[in-house]
């Protein structure tokens, strides 16, 4: 029988992080059975990280609640983990925003608890301001998002602020949502030129560059960003939203076959993702892809897990377009009901109405 330490060692050898989850779940169960609180804490901390960066925020939330409760009840034993917990708390806040079943009132309580702990442990309000920006952006509340952005940028960085690569990429992402394409490209290219990197950067940076570069008429640079960004994101569940952006880019440039190939390769991963925000983006681009396909049967290999799977590999675009539109509408309505805005339904409608970019030649996948 493997020990907890052996399971943790095996988990550390897995790449990407999703592969570590089964080992870490076994380690947690074994540590609990042995009533080894220290090892149970360590295993759960690793599991929260692996689940967060594999597109399973619901699993991360369950184990983080245990960690936080154990930390509070046993400060003498775990007091030295305050920094680690606050860093994980950031992931939990983000995951809660991206879960439409997590009510806004409960999200506010979570943010207030986070704020209380930041003061207790000597950190500032820098990250909490960014949390507000994420929430208002997802709600489509442009005015409050702008105020949150200015507040975030005005506050000094502190010990739980994101790294420079992440922060610059997030500023870039905000500029993209505001339609400030030139500023977004300047920031994105600065990230790449300086070689800034972390778990998500520059993978998401390349994707963030796609629409601004196309809009600015810089098609060749967009193609390069697509080629490198897709290479980095390919077959990683943590980057399902990023993959959706690459599929959307291929559609905008008229490369329908390339879009279909990338989409089909990632459908199985996307169907298993638990991050509802990422899922919405993939469902939206799925509906846009099949809406854009010619009205004739398409032969493509899709996973057996797909609800409309056909052994003969032959699909009618209209049927799949309708299926994915219904799925995307269902998720959009849950977000909009939680947020009290029509933002997600409007995003879906805009994506379905968007055609290939004018003056842009077909991209190579």
For residue 139, what are its two tokens?
């709600």
Q: What is the pLDDT of residue 182?
A: 98
Q: What is the pLDDT of residue 17?
A: 86
For residue 211, what are its two tokens?
């629409």
Q: Has residue 240 got a pLDDT over 90?
A: yes
> Which residues lie below 8 Å from residue 73, measured CB to CB, with a gap of 6+?
none
Rounded average pLDDT over 106-115: 96
> How does pLDDT run across 82-95, given as a tens digit for each residue?
999 999 999 999 99
Q: What is the pLDDT of residue 356?
A: 75
Q: What is the pLDDT of residue 55?
A: 83
What is the chain's Cα-based Rg?
Answer: 21
Rounded average pLDDT over 103-124: 96
DSSP readout, 326-362? Answer: HHHHHHHHHHHHHHTSSHHHHHHHHHHH--PPTT-PP
pLDDT: is 355 or 78 the higher one? 78
Indicate the SS3 state at residue 299: strand
Rounded average pLDDT over 1-24: 93
Q: Has residue 362 got a pLDDT over 90?
A: no
Rounded average pLDDT over 99-114: 96
Domain ranges of the chain: 1-73, 87-161, 163-233, 255-365
Q: Has residue 358 got a pLDDT over 80?
A: no
Tell me which residue of 235, 304, 319, 244 sits closest to 279, measured CA to CA: 244
Q: What is the pLDDT of residue 209?
A: 98
Q: Has residue 62 got a pLDDT over 90?
A: yes
Q: What is the pLDDT of residue 363?
A: 56
> How does pLDDT run across 287-309, given as a tens digit for each residue?
999 999 999 999 999 999 999 99
Rounded average pLDDT over 301-324: 97
Tell me which residue of 183, 112, 128, 134 sits closest to 339, measured CA to CA: 134
Q: 210-224: b or e for each residue (b if 16 or more CB lie within 10 Å)?
A: bbbbbbeebbebbbe
Tell me which residue of 49, 62, 53, 76 sits closest to 275, measured CA to CA: 53
Q: Tell me the C-alpha distance between 263 and 288, whole Å.
A: 11
Q: Has residue 48 got a pLDDT over 90?
A: yes
Q: Mean pLDDT for the chain?
A: 95
> How is residue 293 annotated by DSSP?
S
Q: Has residue 360 got a pLDDT over 70?
A: no
Q: Which residue, chain included where needed, has tokens 């870039």?
A: 172
Q: Which residue, chain included where needed, has tokens 């680690």?
A: 84
Tell me which residue of 41, 14, 16 sits closest to 27, measured CA to CA: 41
Rounded average pLDDT over 66-79: 97
The answer to whether 24 and 43 have CB atoms below 8 angstroms apart is: yes
Q: What is the pLDDT of residue 15?
A: 84
Q: Has residue 156 got a pLDDT over 70?
A: yes
Q: Which residues pair with 173 in a beta bridge?
A: none
Q: Tell me the C-alpha distance between 185 and 205, whole Å.
A: 10
> How is residue 298 annotated by DSSP?
E
Phi, psi angle pair for 362, to nearest 5°:
-60, 130
Q: What is the pLDDT of residue 221?
A: 98
CB-neighbour burial class of residue 36 (10 A; exposed 0-12, middle 13-18, buried 19+): middle
The topology (CATH level 3) of 163-233 is 1.25.40
Q: Tell me the C-alpha distance between 278 and 58, whole Å.
A: 13
What are the distances in angstroms from CA 283 to CA 104, 163, 241, 288? 24, 31, 10, 9
> How does pLDDT run across 206-220, given as a tens digit for each residue?
999 999 999 999 999
Q: Which residues pair with 314 in a beta bridge?
A: 299
Q: Has residue 52 got a pLDDT over 60?
A: yes
pLDDT bin (cut points 50, 70, 90) of residue 21 is very high
Q: What is the pLDDT of residue 359?
A: 45
Question: Taking the complete model, does pTM exceed 0.85, yes or no?
Answer: yes
Tell me which residue of 214, 235, 236, 215 sits closest to 225, measured CA to CA: 214
Q: Has residue 100 got a pLDDT over 80?
A: yes
Rounded average pLDDT over 315-344: 98
Rounded average pLDDT over 155-180: 96
Q: Tell me the C-alpha distance between 171 and 188, whole Å.
A: 10
């Amino acid at each position: 029988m493997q020990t907890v330490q052996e399971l943790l060692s095996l988990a550390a050898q897995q790449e990407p992080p999703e592969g570590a989850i089964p080992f870490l779940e076994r380690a947690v169960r074994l540590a609990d059975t042995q009533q080894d609180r220290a090892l149970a804490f360590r295993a759960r901390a690793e599991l929260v990280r692996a689940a967060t960066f594999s597109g399973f925020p619901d699993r991360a939330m369950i184990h983080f609640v245990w960690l936080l409760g154990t930390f509070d009840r046993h400060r003498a034993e775990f007091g030295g983990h305050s920094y680690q917990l606050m860093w994980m708390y950031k992931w939990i806040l983000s995951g809660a925003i991206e879960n439409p079943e997590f009510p806004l009132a409960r999200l506010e309580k979570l943010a207030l608890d986070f704020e209380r702990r930041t003061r207790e442990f000597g950190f500032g309000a820098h990250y909490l301001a960014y949390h507000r920006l994420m929430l208002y952006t997802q709600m489509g509340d442009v005015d409050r998002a702008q105020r949150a952005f200015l507040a975030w940028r005005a506050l000094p960085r502190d010990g739980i602020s994101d790294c420079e690569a992440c922060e610059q990429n997030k500023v870039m992402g905000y500029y993209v949502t505001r339609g400030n394409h030139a500023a977004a490209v300047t920031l994105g290219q600065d990230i790449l030129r300086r070689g800034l990197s972390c778990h998500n950067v520059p993978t998401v940076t390349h994707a963030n560059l796609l629409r601004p570069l196309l809009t600015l008429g810089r098609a060749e640079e967009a193609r390069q960003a697509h080629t490198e960004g897709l290479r980095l994101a390919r077959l990683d569940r943590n980057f399902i939203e990023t993959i959706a952006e690459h599929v959307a880019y291929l559609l905008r440039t008229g490369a329908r076959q390339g879009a279909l190939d990338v989409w089909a390769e990632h459908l199985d991963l996307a169907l298993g993702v638990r991050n509802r925000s990422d899922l919405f983006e993939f469902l939206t681009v799925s509906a846009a892809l099949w809406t854009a396909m010619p009205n004739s049967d398409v032969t493509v290999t899709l996973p057996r897990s797909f609800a409309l799977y056909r052994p003969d590999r032959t699909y009618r675009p209209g049927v799949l377009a309708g299926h994915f539109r219904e799925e995307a509408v269902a998720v959009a309505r849950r977000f909009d009901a939680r947020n009290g805005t029509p933002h997600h339904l409007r995003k879906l409608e805009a994506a379905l109405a968007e055609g290939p970019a004018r003056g842009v030649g077909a991209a190579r996948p």
